[in-house]
Amino acid sequence: MFEKLREAFSSLTKIVSEKKLSEKEVDDILFNFQLTLLESDVAQEVVEKICADLRSQLMGMSVERSKDVGELVRERLRTSILEIFAKTGTVDVPGLIEAAKEKGEPFVILFLGINGTGKTTTVAKFAYFLKQNGFSVAVAAGDTHRAGAIEQLTQHADRMSVKVVAQRYGADPAAVARDGVLYAKAHHVDVLIVDSAGRMQTNQNLMEEMGKIVRVVSPNLKIFIGDSLAGNDAISQAQMFSKYTGFDGAILTKTDADTKGGAALSIAFVTGRPIMFLGVGQEYKDLKKFDANSFVDLLLG
């Protein structure tokens, strides 16, 4: 997992530990480091932040250097990355649901994302996570465009004994979402998860459709699903959803197969929203709460 980014960090700390660096050498090292970060799907803005932080540290150390310089650089990298995640805050999903329950209202979660990113699987994993936490769940099949989407969601839901609220293909997704809310209210269901369509993010209609669902059901939480294997595409999709519908947090899927590792860092930085969970496999249980410290430990060793 995330091998490429881990390798970039470890070779940087190794180089700077080995010899005294001139200003030119610092620049050359940082230039190569920047390239590796970019190749690891770290967005340009994030690369600039990390390298600016590092440059000041490396230059400051050029006169009086110690053997622990590699360790200092690692610490600087750790601080730089943790700063990015600290700015986004976190989302306490069970806490928010409990608060809604006290008011006697269903908690509505809208899932946003492009087809193929693992959205449907993640809706199922999330329903499983909520059930494991003792909440009752229903799902609304809001992707009324993609052939098979309703059946796929229904199959998952049946396996978990979760109710699916659906209409025919081509129906208005906002109407499906509203039906879902009415069902959840009538049956005292704690959480309604609304799936949505995922045609390409450049499609203006898709963004308008998402905007309509948001207006009609006012979700308590909007979660963006990004495919960590999609690299820069995942980052631009996140920016697009962030701009048109806004979202409260992101789930990154397929991180178990991601050898690069830059997507989490980049999405958090460019949208200012937290990474809430990581998809780490194809089973329902394979949804892991994101923890910034563990993520940095994994990257920096």
Which spans of this chain sit near ligand GDP (rule: CB under 6 A)?
115-121, 198, 253-254, 256-257, 279-282, 286
- CB of residue 235 vs ligand GDP: minimum separation in angstroms? 17
By beta-carbon proximity to ligand GDP, the closer residue of 30 and 230 is 230
DSSP states along 189-248: -SEEEE------TT-HHHHHHHHHHHHHH--SEEEEEEEGGGTHHHHHHHHHHHHHT--S
- CB of residue 140 vs ligand GDP: minimum separation in angstroms? 15
Residue closest to ligand GDP (Cβ) = 279
**Residues 170, 144, 263, 6, CA torsion sign:** negative
Phi, psi of 128 (to 5 degrees): -60, -45
By beta-carbon proximity to ligand GDP, the closer residue of 77 and 251 is 251
- CB of residue 100 vs ligand GDP: minimum separation in angstroms? 26
By beta-carbon proximity to ligand GDP, the closer residue of 90 and 115 is 115
> Please, are residues 162 and 137 in contact by the beta-carbon 8 Å criterion?
yes
By beta-carbon proximity to ligand GDP, the closer residue of 88 and 120 is 120
Q: Using alpha carbons, select from 62, 3, 14 the residue that is nearest to residue 36.
A: 3
> Please, are residues 224 and 113 in contact by the beta-carbon 8 Å criterion?
yes
- CB of residue 255 vs ligand GDP: minimum separation in angstroms? 6
Q: In 10 A of CB 31, how many CB atoms?
A: 10
**3-class DSSP assignment, residue 290:** coil
By beta-carbon proximity to ligand GDP, the closer residue of 72 and 234 is 234
- CB of residue 64 vs ligand GDP: minimum separation in angstroms? 47
